[in-house]
Amino acid sequence: MPYTADAPVTPPTRDELRARVPGWGADLDPADRPAFPRERRDLDSGAHWVLPEQQPELAPRERSLEHERLTPVFGTAQPVKGASGLLKKLAYARFSEGKAAHWLLLVASDRVDAIESHLASFGSLRPDQPVTQTGVRGELTHHGWRSRVGRGRVDVKHTWIDPILVAGPWVLAGALAVAATRKAVSR
Amino acid sequence: MKAMEYRGPYKVRVTEKDIPRIEHPNDAIIRVTMAAICGSDLHLYHGLMPDTRVGSTFGHEFIGIVEEVGSSVQNLHPGQRVMVPFNIYCGSCFFCARGLYSNCHNVNPNATAVGGIYGYSHTCGGYDGGQSEFVRVPFADVGPGVIPDDISDEDALLMTDALSTGYFGAQLADIEEGDTVVVFGAGPVGLFAARSAWFMGAGRVIVVDHLDYRLQRARDFALAETVHFGEVDDVVLRLKRLTGGLGADRVIEAVGAEADGSLLQHIAGVKLKLQGGSPVALNWAIDVARKGGTVSVLGAYGPVQSAVKFGDAMNKGLTLRMNQAPVKRQWPRLMEHIRAGHFRPSELLTHRFPLEHIAEGYHVFSSKLDDIIKPVIIPAAA
């Protein structure tokens, strides 16, 4: 196709599009687009304060180095705890968001948190167990095979990795526990 | 109360938690009647978002009944049926005062790079979410809205994120009459973006995915042409051919961190978490846009670096536009579209799971089983 000043593909006419698509062109005028312009000073957010009251800090709350103060409102859902908590506190206290170390420490702390929490659960009345928590029963109730096979799905190329990622650490931990027990018994 | 609880990557369960309490005078406590699992919840579920703590309750798409309000709340009253935007925002900071509600500076102590989001890790503020029987809603006079009587629960639920985000993404693309618009991703957000592109005057809409049943929805619901990228050798080349060799005027990326299409990128970004996600769809969007065109990014990525083809974006003179949607700004116009009968968003709600079966819900949604598009979670108390 020669590259001329004309658009290479001519769109259908307005009438054709209106006949085919309900509401076609209803927001043609940018004034009808609620996100336009992106920044507006004339919106009423509902706020009836200049600065919100401060939520009480009942327990020390970690915050980004980039905030000069604790924000007026914050979540209190899962306070830091254990070794993962030490890593998280270090990430927040030492590195700004611009440093890769900040995020990589947080990623690492999440893995530590998972291990700590799994171990802690074994001392509780409701230990973690990966079978029900992964919802793998859905494979039986929602057509796992039929949903994947013969459908041209690209993700089937790596689906096999998931069970290894999820069950692998449990199998490995179990094998190590058995080996350690045998060694202790044989002494 | 019963609540979904994250137990580490790929693992969730239902647990007993204390009912949340008023922690700030402008808080409200909402009894959740309906929640949804969002595609972006899967990023948390797969362990991709830093500082996602074990014990977290996810869920940033929910509606419910006002149970209790704090002492300074003026606009909400117990018993009202409300929809809650996924954004937590104060309404008064530098950013909120300019309408950037998704970029509030007063609600997230953990990061300045993102605002506050319900149930979306401590990186987004450390708030529990709505996949539970009750949820704490900060700034009750700002975020939640009373659901009008003529708007269904299902449509209201979708307006809390997926519908508003898709509609917002079409606006970000700066569509002009007759434009060719390519949408990557035929999940709920991509389908809503594709459908919304017509409202802005698109002349042609093409949706790209690899799931056949979702591409069927793209044809039926979004009235779009489709390309199955698993059935073509080179999806970028195919789209260039479809657009006369120049590329698309506007491209909307509605996939985000878990994109398929490159096994190497997927394993590095998603399985091994060496990047802030797999940027395959974003790179395709950059490749497919015509020179001088616009790429609207709706896909969510982690804050760690990703291998994005920025040089091509620069050399092509692209405009890259992106943000988390300022949800509440979208509602009045979206309700007008619904009332005018332009579309029925709830057509995309395909599955309902009781909260007790949420682990199964996550697995089915994550694995794209049973032709799932959008799952709804129903708490027992609802």
Tens of pLDDT along chain B (382 residues)?
A: 999 999 999 999 999 999 999 999 999 999 999 999 999 999 999 999 999 999 999 999 999 999 999 999 999 999 999 999 999 999 999 999 999 999 999 999 999 999 999 999 999 999 999 999 999 999 999 999 999 999 999 999 999 999 999 999 999 999 999 999 999 999 999 999 999 999 999 999 999 999 999 999 999 999 999 999 999 999 999 999 999 999 999 999 999 988 888 888 888 888 887 778 889 999 999 999 999 999 999 999 988 888 899 999 999 999 999 999 999 999 999 999 999 999 999 999 999 999 999 999 999 999 999 999 999 999 976 5
Find the range with the poorest average confidence among A60-64, A156-160, B231-235, B359-363: A156-160
Evaluate whether B38 touches B46 at the Cβ level (below 8 Å): no
Tell how far CA B165 is from the center of its chain.
6
Q: A176: which residues sit within 8 A by CB, 6+ positions away? A: none
Nearest C-alpha neighbor of B351 from the set B376, B370, B369: B376
Q: Does residue A36 lie in a domain region?
A: no
Q: Does residue A95 lie in a domain region?
A: yes
Which residue of chain A is at minimal alpha-carbon distance from B198? A24
Reported ipTM: the value is 0.95
The CATH code of the domain that includes B351 is 3.90.180.10
**Candidates B2, B6, B11, partner chain A, best to mutate (most A CBs within 10 A):** B11
**Candidates B198, B322, B333, partner chain A, best to mutate (most A CBs within 10 A):** B198
CA–CA dist A53, A148 (Å, integer): 52
CA torsion sign for B190, B196, B200, B205 is positive
Give the pLDDT of residue B54. 98
Are B16 and B86 within one domain? yes
* Chain A closest-CA separation from residue B243 CA (Å): 7
Are A117 and A138 within one domain? no
Which residue of chain B is at minimal alpha-carbon distance from A158? B263
Q: Does residue A153 lie in a domain region?
A: no
Nearest C-alpha neighbor of A15 from the set B256, B307, B203, B12: B203
Are A175 and A135 within one domain? yes
Are A187 and A134 within one domain? yes
**Candidates B12, B71, B122, B128, partner chain A, best to mutate (most A CBs within 10 A):** B122
**Candidates A68, A71, A165, partner chain B, best to mutate (most B CBs within 10 A):** A71
Are B242 and B120 within one domain? no
Are B296 and B367 within one domain? no
Neighbours of B30 (CB within 10 A): 26
Are B338 and B300 within one domain? no
Q: Does residue A179 lie in a domain region?
A: yes
Are B140 and B201 within one domain? no
Are B318 and B332 within one domain? no
Chain B residues 281-320 with CB within 8 Å of chain A? 302-305
Evaluate whether B103 touches B323 at the Cβ level (below 8 Å): yes
Are A133 and A187 within one domain? yes
Domain residues for the domain of A176 are: 129-145+159-187
Question: A9 contacts in B (CB within 8 Å)?
Answer: 180, 204, 243-244
Are B155 and B180 within one domain? no
Q: Which amino acid is at A112?
A: V
Are A133 and A122 within one domain? no
Are B313 and B236 within one domain? yes
Are B130 and B193 within one domain? no
Are A134 and A178 within one domain? yes
CA distances from A110 to A99, B104, B273, B379 (A): 18, 25, 12, 28
B372 touches chain A (CB under 8 A): yes
Cis before B326? omega within 30: no
* Chain B closest-CA separation from residue A134 CA (Å): 5
Are A82 and A116 within one domain? yes
Q: Does residue A140 lie in a domain region?
A: yes
How big is the CA angle at B38 (ends B126 and B370), to the nearest 5 degrees? Answer: 145
The answer to whether A147 contacts B369, with C-beta atoms less than 8 Å apart, is yes
The answer to whether A66 contacts B112, with C-beta atoms less than 8 Å apart, is yes
Are A121 and A169 within one domain? no
Question: B126 contacts in A (CB within 8 Å)?
Answer: 74-78
Are B151 and B24 within one domain? yes
Q: B206: which residues sit within 8 A by CB, 6+ positions away? A: B180, B181, B182, B183, B224, B225, B226, B227, B239, B242, B248
Q: B180: which residues sit within 8 A by CB, 6+ positions away? A: A9, A11, B202, B203, B204, B205, B206, B243, B248, B249, B250
Question: B302 contacts in A (CB within 8 Å)?
Answer: 103
Are A141 and A89 within one domain? no
Number of domains in chain B: 2
The answer to whether A9 contacts B244, with C-beta atoms less than 8 Å apart, is yes
B354 touches chain A (CB under 8 A): no
Are A122 and A134 within one domain? no
Chain B residues 201-240 with CB within 8 Å of chain A? 201, 203-204, 210-212, 223, 228-231
Q: Does residue A48 lie in a domain region?
A: no
* Chain B closest-CA separation from residue A164 CA (Å): 11
How big is the CA angle at B156 (ends B216 and B101), to the nearest 5 degrees? Answer: 105
Q: Does residue A30 lie in a domain region?
A: no
Are A136 and A96 within one domain? no
Q: Does residue A114 lie in a domain region?
A: yes
Which residue of chain B is at minimal alpha-carbon distance from A36? B171
Are A141 and A186 within one domain? yes
Domain residues for the domain of B237 are: 166-322
CA–CA dist B100, B3 (Å, integer): 31
Nearest C-alpha neighbor of B170 from the set A168, A25, A112, A142: A25
Are B171 and B276 within one domain? yes
The CATH code of the domain that includes B211 is 3.40.50.720
- Could you tell me how many CB contacts below 8 A there are between chain A and chain B? 311
The answer to whether A71 contacts B109, with C-beta atoms less than 8 Å apart, is yes
Number of domains in chain A: 2
Are B150 and B59 within one domain? yes
